[in-house]
Amino acid sequence: MLQPLREIEGGIKLSLNVAGRLGQLRKPPILESFLRQVYFTGVTAATGVVLRASGLGALIIAVTLDVLDADIDLAVKILLWVVFREIGPLAAAVVVILRTGTAISAEMAMMRVSGQTRALRYLAINLYDYLVVPRVAAVMLATMALTFYIQALAVLGALVLSPFIIDASFMELAGRFFELFAPVDLYYSTVKSLLFGFAIAACCCWHGLNPPELSQNAVPKVITRAVTQSAMLVLTINAVFAYIVFGILFFGLVTAKV
Amino acid sequence: MTELALRYARFTGRHPIVLTVPRGGVTRAHLPDSQAKAHLVTALLKARAASGEELELLGAATAELNAKRRDRLRRRVGAVSPVVGLINNLNAWENISLPAAYHGSPPLERVAQIAQEVLQRFGADPQAFLARLPDDLDSLERKIAAFVRLLVAAPELAVFDALDEGLSREESARVSGFEAEYRARQPAGTLLYVDIKEA
Protein backbone atom coordinates (compact mmCIF):
# COMPACT_ATOMS: atom_id res chain seq x y z
CA MET A 1 0.00 0.00 0.00
CA LEU A 2 2.83 2.39 0.90
CA GLN A 3 4.81 1.72 -2.26
CA PRO A 4 2.35 3.30 -4.74
CA LEU A 5 1.95 6.33 -2.45
CA ARG A 6 5.72 6.63 -2.23
CA GLU A 7 5.95 6.45 -6.01
CA ILE A 8 3.29 9.11 -6.50
CA GLU A 9 4.91 11.39 -3.94
CA GLY A 10 8.35 10.82 -5.48
CA GLY A 11 7.04 11.43 -8.99
CA ILE A 12 5.39 14.70 -7.98
CA LYS A 13 8.49 15.90 -6.13
CA LEU A 14 10.70 15.00 -9.08
CA SER A 15 8.36 16.76 -11.51
CA LEU A 16 8.27 19.94 -9.41
CA ASN A 17 12.02 19.85 -9.04
CA VAL A 18 12.51 19.58 -12.80
CA ALA A 19 10.05 22.40 -13.46
CA GLY A 20 11.86 24.64 -10.99
CA ARG A 21 15.35 23.88 -12.24
CA LEU A 22 15.01 24.18 -16.02
CA GLY A 23 17.37 27.17 -15.87
CA GLN A 24 20.19 24.73 -15.08
CA LEU A 25 20.15 23.75 -18.77
CA ARG A 26 22.46 26.71 -19.37
CA LYS A 27 25.33 24.90 -17.66
CA PRO A 28 27.60 23.34 -20.33
CA PRO A 29 27.62 19.69 -19.14
CA ILE A 30 23.85 19.76 -18.63
CA LEU A 31 23.25 21.33 -22.03
CA GLU A 32 25.47 18.67 -23.59
CA SER A 33 23.53 15.92 -21.86
CA PHE A 34 20.29 17.54 -23.09
CA LEU A 35 21.52 17.64 -26.70
CA ARG A 36 22.71 14.03 -26.55
CA GLN A 37 19.30 12.95 -25.31
CA VAL A 38 17.50 14.95 -28.01
CA TYR A 39 19.69 13.27 -30.60
CA PHE A 40 19.09 9.80 -29.21
CA THR A 41 15.35 10.20 -28.65
CA GLY A 42 14.40 12.37 -31.57
CA VAL A 43 16.88 11.94 -34.37
CA THR A 44 17.92 8.29 -34.21
CA ALA A 45 14.34 7.17 -33.53
CA ALA A 46 13.03 9.08 -36.52
CA THR A 47 14.71 6.97 -39.19
CA GLY A 48 12.89 3.79 -38.24
CA VAL A 49 9.42 5.28 -38.31
CA VAL A 50 9.39 6.72 -41.83
CA LEU A 51 7.91 3.76 -43.73
CA ARG A 52 5.74 2.57 -40.88
CA ALA A 53 4.18 5.99 -40.32
CA SER A 54 3.47 6.65 -43.99
CA GLY A 55 1.96 3.18 -44.34
CA LEU A 56 -0.19 3.75 -41.26
CA GLY A 57 -2.15 6.63 -42.81
CA ALA A 58 -2.82 4.77 -46.05
CA LEU A 59 -3.83 1.66 -44.15
CA ILE A 60 -6.34 3.54 -42.00
CA ILE A 61 -7.98 5.15 -45.03
CA ALA A 62 -8.12 1.85 -46.91
CA VAL A 63 -9.56 -0.08 -43.95
CA THR A 64 -12.07 2.66 -43.16
CA LEU A 65 -13.36 2.74 -46.71
CA ASP A 66 -13.50 -1.00 -46.96
CA VAL A 67 -14.97 -1.95 -43.58
CA LEU A 68 -17.25 1.02 -42.98
CA ASP A 69 -18.07 1.50 -46.63
CA ALA A 70 -17.24 5.15 -46.02
CA ASP A 71 -16.94 7.99 -48.50
CA ILE A 72 -13.89 10.20 -48.94
CA ASP A 73 -15.26 12.72 -46.48
CA LEU A 74 -15.50 10.21 -43.64
CA ALA A 75 -12.12 8.69 -44.52
CA VAL A 76 -10.38 12.05 -44.29
CA LYS A 77 -12.22 12.86 -41.05
CA ILE A 78 -10.95 9.63 -39.60
CA LEU A 79 -7.46 10.39 -40.86
CA LEU A 80 -7.56 13.71 -39.05
CA TRP A 81 -9.30 12.62 -35.87
CA VAL A 82 -7.74 9.23 -35.41
CA VAL A 83 -4.30 9.51 -36.99
CA PHE A 84 -3.56 13.15 -36.36
CA ARG A 85 -5.12 13.66 -32.95
CA GLU A 86 -4.77 10.25 -31.31
CA ILE A 87 -2.53 7.72 -33.04
CA GLY A 88 0.22 10.18 -33.98
CA PRO A 89 0.99 11.25 -30.40
CA LEU A 90 0.39 7.74 -29.06
CA ALA A 91 2.68 6.14 -31.67
CA ALA A 92 5.40 8.66 -30.80
CA ALA A 93 4.91 7.92 -27.10
CA VAL A 94 5.21 4.17 -27.73
CA VAL A 95 8.45 4.68 -29.68
CA VAL A 96 9.81 6.91 -26.91
CA ILE A 97 8.84 4.47 -24.14
CA LEU A 98 10.37 1.48 -25.92
CA ARG A 99 13.58 3.18 -27.05
CA THR A 100 14.27 5.97 -24.59
CA GLY A 101 12.31 4.98 -21.51
CA THR A 102 14.05 1.63 -21.28
CA ALA A 103 17.46 3.21 -21.92
CA ILE A 104 17.00 5.97 -19.34
CA SER A 105 15.71 3.69 -16.61
CA ALA A 106 18.45 1.09 -17.22
CA GLU A 107 21.21 3.71 -17.36
CA MET A 108 20.07 5.42 -14.17
CA ALA A 109 19.57 2.15 -12.32
CA MET A 110 23.08 1.01 -13.35
CA MET A 111 24.53 4.31 -12.18
CA ARG A 112 22.71 4.00 -8.87
CA VAL A 113 23.68 0.36 -8.33
CA SER A 114 27.34 0.88 -9.26
CA GLY A 115 27.73 3.92 -7.00
CA GLN A 116 28.11 6.47 -9.79
CA THR A 117 25.27 8.63 -8.47
CA ARG A 118 27.05 8.65 -5.10
CA ALA A 119 30.24 9.77 -6.85
CA LEU A 120 28.34 12.64 -8.48
CA ARG A 121 26.98 13.68 -5.10
CA TYR A 122 30.48 13.69 -3.60
CA LEU A 123 31.60 15.91 -6.48
CA ALA A 124 28.86 18.34 -5.33
CA ILE A 125 26.88 17.74 -8.52
CA ASN A 126 23.14 17.82 -8.03
CA LEU A 127 21.64 14.59 -9.40
CA TYR A 128 18.44 16.30 -10.49
CA ASP A 129 20.35 18.99 -12.35
CA TYR A 130 22.77 16.67 -14.08
CA LEU A 131 20.72 13.53 -14.68
CA VAL A 132 17.02 14.35 -14.54
CA VAL A 133 16.53 17.90 -15.88
CA PRO A 134 18.29 17.39 -19.25
CA ARG A 135 16.62 14.04 -19.84
CA VAL A 136 13.11 15.25 -19.03
CA ALA A 137 13.48 18.44 -21.10
CA ALA A 138 15.04 16.56 -24.03
CA VAL A 139 12.45 13.78 -24.03
CA MET A 140 9.62 16.35 -23.98
CA LEU A 141 11.08 18.20 -26.94
CA ALA A 142 11.94 15.03 -28.85
CA THR A 143 8.50 13.48 -28.24
CA MET A 144 6.87 16.60 -29.64
CA ALA A 145 9.14 16.59 -32.69
CA LEU A 146 8.62 12.88 -33.23
CA THR A 147 4.85 13.34 -32.96
CA PHE A 148 4.86 16.02 -35.69
CA TYR A 149 7.09 13.83 -37.80
CA ILE A 150 4.83 10.79 -37.50
CA GLN A 151 1.70 12.89 -38.08
CA ALA A 152 3.17 14.55 -41.16
CA LEU A 153 4.36 11.25 -42.61
CA ALA A 154 1.13 9.43 -41.85
CA VAL A 155 -1.03 12.15 -43.41
CA LEU A 156 1.29 12.53 -46.39
CA GLY A 157 1.47 8.76 -46.79
CA ALA A 158 -2.32 8.51 -46.72
CA LEU A 159 -2.74 11.30 -49.26
CA VAL A 160 -0.11 9.89 -51.62
CA LEU A 161 -0.82 6.15 -51.33
CA SER A 162 -4.61 6.21 -51.02
CA PRO A 163 -5.31 7.08 -54.66
CA PHE A 164 -3.82 3.65 -55.51
CA ILE A 165 -6.34 1.93 -53.23
CA ILE A 166 -9.50 4.03 -53.49
CA ASP A 167 -11.17 6.04 -56.17
CA ALA A 168 -10.00 9.47 -55.08
CA SER A 169 -7.27 11.82 -56.27
CA PHE A 170 -4.49 13.27 -54.15
CA MET A 171 -5.89 16.79 -54.65
CA GLU A 172 -9.38 15.74 -53.58
CA LEU A 173 -8.10 14.13 -50.39
CA ALA A 174 -5.70 16.96 -49.61
CA GLY A 175 -8.33 19.63 -50.22
CA ARG A 176 -10.80 17.93 -47.91
CA PHE A 177 -8.11 17.39 -45.27
CA PHE A 178 -7.16 21.06 -45.13
CA GLU A 179 -10.82 22.10 -45.07
CA LEU A 180 -11.36 20.04 -41.93
CA PHE A 181 -8.03 20.82 -40.28
CA ALA A 182 -8.27 23.38 -37.43
CA PRO A 183 -5.45 24.94 -35.37
CA VAL A 184 -6.86 23.27 -32.26
CA ASP A 185 -5.73 19.91 -33.70
CA LEU A 186 -2.16 21.17 -33.71
CA TYR A 187 -2.32 22.73 -30.22
CA TYR A 188 -3.95 19.58 -28.91
CA SER A 189 -1.25 17.26 -30.16
CA THR A 190 1.55 19.67 -29.18
CA VAL A 191 0.44 19.94 -25.55
CA LYS A 192 -0.36 16.25 -25.38
CA SER A 193 2.99 15.14 -26.77
CA LEU A 194 4.83 17.46 -24.35
CA LEU A 195 2.87 15.91 -21.48
CA PHE A 196 3.60 12.41 -22.75
CA GLY A 197 7.31 13.17 -22.95
CA PHE A 198 7.32 14.67 -19.47
CA ALA A 199 5.46 11.73 -17.95
CA ILE A 200 7.65 9.11 -19.63
CA ALA A 201 10.96 10.75 -18.74
CA ALA A 202 9.97 11.66 -15.17
CA CYS A 203 8.63 8.15 -14.52
CA CYS A 204 11.71 6.43 -15.97
CA CYS A 205 14.13 8.74 -14.14
CA TRP A 206 12.33 8.21 -10.85
CA HIS A 207 12.37 4.43 -11.16
CA GLY A 208 16.00 4.45 -12.32
CA LEU A 209 17.07 6.48 -9.31
CA ASN A 210 14.99 4.41 -6.88
CA PRO A 211 15.70 0.74 -7.60
CA PRO A 212 14.07 -1.75 -5.23
CA GLU A 213 17.53 -2.98 -4.16
CA LEU A 214 21.13 -1.99 -4.81
CA SER A 215 22.15 -5.00 -6.89
CA GLN A 216 22.41 -5.88 -10.59
CA ASN A 217 19.18 -7.87 -10.24
CA ALA A 218 17.29 -4.64 -9.66
CA VAL A 219 17.95 -3.30 -13.19
CA PRO A 220 15.44 -5.47 -15.10
CA LYS A 221 12.85 -4.86 -12.37
CA VAL A 222 13.36 -1.12 -12.73
CA ILE A 223 12.93 -1.29 -16.52
CA THR A 224 9.75 -3.36 -16.24
CA ARG A 225 8.21 -0.98 -13.71
CA ALA A 226 9.28 2.13 -15.61
CA VAL A 227 7.90 0.89 -18.94
CA THR A 228 4.62 -0.38 -17.48
CA GLN A 229 3.95 2.77 -15.50
CA SER A 230 4.98 5.06 -18.37
CA ALA A 231 2.52 3.28 -20.66
CA MET A 232 -0.24 3.58 -18.04
CA LEU A 233 0.53 7.27 -17.52
CA VAL A 234 0.42 7.94 -21.26
CA LEU A 235 -2.93 6.17 -21.65
CA THR A 236 -4.36 8.01 -18.63
CA ILE A 237 -3.17 11.39 -19.88
CA ASN A 238 -4.59 10.60 -23.32
CA ALA A 239 -8.01 9.71 -21.93
CA VAL A 240 -8.19 12.66 -19.53
CA PHE A 241 -6.95 15.07 -22.18
CA ALA A 242 -9.49 13.87 -24.73
CA TYR A 243 -12.24 14.37 -22.15
CA ILE A 244 -11.06 17.85 -21.21
CA VAL A 245 -10.64 19.08 -24.80
CA PHE A 246 -13.34 17.25 -26.72
CA GLY A 247 -15.64 16.09 -23.93
CA ILE A 248 -15.39 12.44 -24.91
CA LEU A 249 -13.78 9.49 -23.20
CA PHE A 250 -13.20 5.90 -24.26
CA PHE A 251 -14.14 6.50 -27.89
CA GLY A 252 -17.38 8.24 -26.99
CA LEU A 253 -18.62 5.84 -24.29
CA VAL A 254 -18.41 8.69 -21.79
CA THR A 255 -19.36 12.14 -23.03
CA ALA A 256 -19.33 15.48 -21.27
CA LYS A 257 -22.66 17.18 -20.59
CA VAL A 258 -22.74 20.55 -22.31
CA MET B 1 49.95 23.63 19.29
CA THR B 2 49.66 22.07 15.83
CA GLU B 3 46.55 23.07 13.93
CA LEU B 4 44.47 20.08 12.91
CA ALA B 5 43.00 19.47 9.47
CA LEU B 6 40.91 16.66 10.80
CA ARG B 7 39.84 15.03 14.02
CA TYR B 8 37.74 11.92 13.65
CA ALA B 9 36.49 9.51 16.28
CA ARG B 10 34.31 6.46 15.95
CA PHE B 11 33.07 4.64 18.99
CA THR B 12 30.86 2.00 17.42
CA GLY B 13 32.19 -1.20 15.83
CA ARG B 14 34.67 -3.63 17.31
CA HIS B 15 37.61 -1.21 17.45
CA PRO B 16 37.16 2.41 18.61
CA ILE B 17 39.05 4.77 16.30
CA VAL B 18 40.50 8.17 17.08
CA LEU B 19 42.35 9.89 14.27
CA THR B 20 44.00 13.30 14.21
CA VAL B 21 45.59 14.74 11.10
CA PRO B 22 47.80 17.85 11.36
CA ARG B 23 47.17 20.53 8.79
CA GLY B 24 49.66 20.70 5.91
CA GLY B 25 51.23 17.31 6.58
CA VAL B 26 51.06 13.77 5.29
CA THR B 27 49.33 11.20 7.49
CA ARG B 28 48.91 7.48 6.96
CA ALA B 29 45.88 5.97 8.67
CA HIS B 30 45.69 2.18 8.96
CA LEU B 31 42.17 1.20 9.88
CA PRO B 32 41.17 -2.19 11.33
CA ASP B 33 38.76 -3.23 8.56
CA SER B 34 37.14 -2.17 5.30
CA GLN B 35 33.96 -1.10 7.08
CA ALA B 36 35.86 1.32 9.30
CA LYS B 37 37.68 2.66 6.24
CA ALA B 38 34.43 3.15 4.32
CA HIS B 39 32.90 4.98 7.32
CA LEU B 40 35.86 7.34 7.57
CA VAL B 41 36.03 8.14 3.84
CA THR B 42 32.26 8.61 3.64
CA ALA B 43 32.25 10.91 6.67
CA LEU B 44 35.03 13.02 5.12
CA LEU B 45 33.39 13.24 1.71
CA LYS B 46 30.00 14.06 3.20
CA ALA B 47 31.52 16.36 5.84
CA ARG B 48 29.08 14.70 8.18
CA ALA B 49 29.55 12.29 11.07
CA ALA B 50 27.18 9.35 11.36
CA SER B 51 25.79 8.35 14.74
CA GLY B 52 28.58 7.14 17.02
CA GLU B 53 31.11 9.31 15.15
CA GLU B 54 32.66 12.73 15.76
CA LEU B 55 34.20 14.80 13.02
CA GLU B 56 35.99 18.12 13.00
CA LEU B 57 37.08 19.01 9.51
CA LEU B 58 39.32 21.90 8.46
CA GLY B 59 38.52 23.79 11.65
CA ALA B 60 34.76 23.23 11.57
CA ALA B 61 32.71 21.06 13.92
CA THR B 62 30.60 19.28 11.31
CA ALA B 63 27.72 18.58 13.68
CA GLU B 64 26.90 22.29 13.84
CA LEU B 65 26.99 23.07 10.12
CA ASN B 66 23.98 24.10 8.08
CA ALA B 67 23.52 22.69 4.57
CA LYS B 68 25.20 25.61 2.80
CA ARG B 69 28.30 25.63 4.99
CA ARG B 70 28.53 21.84 4.80
CA ASP B 71 28.42 22.07 1.03
CA ARG B 72 31.22 24.62 1.03
CA LEU B 73 33.27 22.45 3.38
CA ARG B 74 32.75 19.37 1.22
CA ARG B 75 34.28 21.17 -1.74
CA ARG B 76 37.49 21.62 0.25
CA VAL B 77 37.90 17.84 0.51
CA GLY B 78 38.77 15.52 -2.37
CA ALA B 79 39.55 11.85 -2.72
CA VAL B 80 41.04 9.27 -5.01
CA SER B 81 38.83 6.47 -3.85
CA PRO B 82 36.63 3.68 -5.15
CA VAL B 83 33.83 5.57 -3.40
CA VAL B 84 34.22 8.44 -5.88
CA GLY B 85 34.65 6.42 -9.06
CA LEU B 86 34.49 7.59 -12.65
CA ILE B 87 31.21 7.94 -14.54
CA ASN B 88 31.02 5.09 -17.04
CA ASN B 89 29.31 6.83 -19.93
CA LEU B 90 31.69 9.80 -19.94
CA ASN B 91 35.18 9.60 -21.41
CA ALA B 92 38.24 10.46 -19.30
CA TRP B 93 38.23 14.13 -20.33
CA GLU B 94 34.53 14.52 -19.55
CA ASN B 95 35.06 12.82 -16.20
CA ILE B 96 37.97 15.10 -15.33
CA SER B 97 36.30 18.30 -16.50
CA LEU B 98 32.76 17.54 -15.26
CA PRO B 99 33.03 19.20 -11.80
CA ALA B 100 34.76 22.26 -13.26
CA ALA B 101 32.24 22.56 -16.11
CA TYR B 102 29.34 22.14 -13.69
CA HIS B 103 30.56 24.56 -11.02
CA GLY B 104 31.99 27.03 -13.53
CA SER B 105 35.54 27.03 -12.14
CA PRO B 106 38.35 26.61 -12.88
CA PRO B 107 38.09 27.46 -16.59
CA LEU B 108 38.27 24.48 -18.93
CA GLU B 109 41.52 25.78 -20.47
CA ARG B 110 43.10 25.48 -17.02
CA VAL B 111 41.63 21.98 -16.59
CA ALA B 112 43.08 20.95 -19.97
CA GLN B 113 46.46 22.33 -18.96
CA ILE B 114 46.49 20.45 -15.65
CA ALA B 115 45.37 17.24 -17.38
CA GLN B 116 48.05 17.55 -20.05
CA GLU B 117 50.84 18.20 -17.53
CA VAL B 118 49.86 15.46 -15.11
CA LEU B 119 49.21 12.81 -17.75
CA GLN B 120 52.56 13.49 -19.37
CA ARG B 121 54.23 13.36 -15.97
CA PHE B 122 52.75 9.88 -15.45
CA GLY B 123 53.72 8.66 -18.90
CA ALA B 124 50.33 8.75 -20.67
CA ASP B 125 49.58 10.23 -24.07
CA PRO B 126 47.02 12.92 -23.11
CA GLN B 127 45.08 12.90 -26.37
CA ALA B 128 44.57 9.14 -26.48
CA PHE B 129 44.03 8.86 -22.72
CA LEU B 130 41.39 11.57 -22.49
CA ALA B 131 39.31 10.13 -25.33
CA ARG B 132 38.91 6.74 -23.67
CA LEU B 133 35.93 5.56 -21.64
CA PRO B 134 36.54 4.32 -18.08
CA ASP B 135 35.87 0.71 -19.17
CA ASP B 136 38.87 0.99 -21.52
CA LEU B 137 41.18 2.17 -18.74
CA ASP B 138 43.10 -0.21 -16.48
CA SER B 139 43.25 0.20 -12.68
CA LEU B 140 46.29 2.47 -12.77
CA GLU B 141 44.83 4.66 -15.50
CA ARG B 142 41.55 4.99 -13.61
CA LYS B 143 43.47 6.14 -10.54
CA ILE B 144 45.41 8.63 -12.63
CA ALA B 145 42.18 10.01 -14.09
CA ALA B 146 40.67 10.31 -10.61
CA PHE B 147 43.86 11.99 -9.40
CA VAL B 148 43.76 14.56 -12.21
CA ARG B 149 40.13 15.28 -11.32
CA LEU B 150 41.20 15.78 -7.71
CA LEU B 151 44.00 18.17 -8.71
CA VAL B 152 41.56 20.21 -10.79
CA ALA B 153 39.36 20.64 -7.70
CA ALA B 154 42.47 21.67 -5.69
CA PRO B 155 41.19 20.41 -2.33
CA GLU B 156 42.80 21.48 0.95
CA LEU B 157 42.47 17.92 2.22
CA ALA B 158 43.23 15.12 -0.24
CA VAL B 159 42.37 11.55 0.72
CA PHE B 160 44.12 8.66 -1.01
CA ASP B 161 41.97 5.65 -0.26
CA ALA B 162 43.69 2.26 -0.76
CA LEU B 163 45.87 3.75 -3.46
CA ASP B 164 47.88 0.57 -4.03
CA GLU B 165 44.86 -1.72 -4.23
CA GLY B 166 44.71 -3.68 -7.47
CA LEU B 167 48.10 -2.42 -8.67
CA SER B 168 51.33 -4.28 -9.39
CA ARG B 169 54.53 -3.33 -7.59
CA GLU B 170 55.66 -1.28 -10.58
CA GLU B 171 52.33 0.51 -10.82
CA SER B 172 52.37 1.21 -7.08
CA ALA B 173 55.72 2.87 -7.53
CA ARG B 174 54.20 5.11 -10.18
CA VAL B 175 51.22 6.18 -8.07
CA SER B 176 53.59 7.03 -5.23
CA GLY B 177 54.37 10.07 -7.38
CA PHE B 178 50.87 11.43 -6.66
CA GLU B 179 52.08 12.83 -3.34
CA ALA B 180 54.83 14.98 -4.88
CA GLU B 181 52.50 16.16 -7.64
CA TYR B 182 49.81 17.15 -5.12
CA ARG B 183 52.37 18.86 -2.90
CA ALA B 184 53.78 20.81 -5.87
CA ARG B 185 50.32 22.15 -6.67
CA GLN B 186 48.98 22.52 -3.12
CA PRO B 187 51.99 23.38 -0.92
CA ALA B 188 49.78 24.00 2.13
CA GLY B 189 47.46 21.05 1.47
CA THR B 190 46.96 18.09 3.77
CA LEU B 191 47.34 14.53 2.55
CA LEU B 192 45.73 11.55 4.17
CA TYR B 193 46.46 7.99 3.07
CA VAL B 194 43.80 5.54 4.22
CA ASP B 195 44.44 1.80 4.21
CA ILE B 196 43.43 -1.33 6.05
CA LYS B 197 45.83 -2.60 8.69
CA GLU B 198 47.46 -5.81 7.43
CA ALA B 199 47.06 -8.75 9.77
Q: Which long-range contacts (CB under 8 A, 24 or more apart) does A62-66 make?
A: A62/A162, A62/A165, A62/A166, A65/A165, A65/A166
From the candidates B44, B98, B102, B105, which should be mutated to test the interface with A, based on the most A CB atoms within 10 A? B102
DSSP 3-state assignment of B70? helix
Alpha-carbon gap, residue A249 to A40, rounded angstroms: 33
Q: What is the pLDDT of residue A68?
A: 76
Alpha-carbon gap, residue A217 to A238, rounded angstroms: 33
Count of CB atoms situated within 10 Å of the CB of B15: 10
DSSP notation for B10-61: E-SSSS-EEEEEETTSEEEEEESSHHHHHHHHHHHHHT---TTEEEEETTEE
Looking at per-residue pLDDT, the higher value among B74 and A257 belongs to B74
Q: What is the pLDDT of residue B1?
A: 58
The C-alpha of A150 sits at a distance from chain B's nearest C-alpha, in angstroms, of: 30
Of the partner residues A111, A115, A130, the one whose CB lies closest to the CB of residue B102: A130
Looking at beta carbons, which residues of chain A come within 8 Å of B99?
Answer: 123-125
Q: Please name the residues between 24 and 43 in chain A that touch chain B, using a CB distance below 8 Å.
A: 27-30
Q: What is the pLDDT of residue A184?
A: 84
Cα nearest neighbour of B87 on chain A: A116
In angstroms, the first-to-last Cα distance of chain B is: 34
Q: Where is average pLDDT lowest: A66-80, A147-161, B84-98, B115-129?
A: A66-80
Q: What is the pLDDT of residue A113?
A: 95
Alpha-carbon gap, residue A121 to B99, rounded angstroms: 11
Q: What φ, ψ does residue A191 adopt, rounded to 5°?
A: -65, -40
B24 has a pLDDT exceeding 80: yes
In chain B, what are the domains? 4-196 (3.40.50.300)
- If you average pLDDT over residues B177-181, what whole number do you get? 96
Count of CB atoms situated within 10 Å of the CB of A162: 26
Pick from B99, B83, B89, B199: nearest CA to B148: B99
Q: How confident is the model at residue A258 (pLDDT cuts 50, 70, 90)?
A: very low
Looking at beta carbons, which residues of chain A come within 8 Å of B86?
Answer: 119
Residue-wise pLDDT for B150-163, tens only, equals 999 999 999 999 99
Alpha-carbon gap, residue A239 to A236, rounded angstroms: 5
Cα nearest neighbour of A122 on chain B: B45
Q: What is the pLDDT of residue A62?
A: 74
Residue-wise pLDDT for A164-177, tens only, equals 777 788 888 889 88
Pick from B13, B26, B12, B77: nearest CA to B183: B26
Residue-wise pLDDT for B55-83, tens only, equals 999 999 998 899 999 999 999 999 999 98
Q: Strands, DSSP E only, in B49-198? A: 53-57, 60-61, 77-80, 157-161, 190-196
Of the partner residues A29, A115, A122, the one whose CB lies closest to the CB of residue B98: A29
Q: What φ, ψ does residue A97 adopt, rounded to 5°?
A: -65, -50
Residue-wise pLDDT for A51-79, tens only, equals 676 677 777 777 777 777 777 788 788 88
A5 has a pLDDT exceeding 60: yes
A249 forms bridges with which residues in the sheet? A254
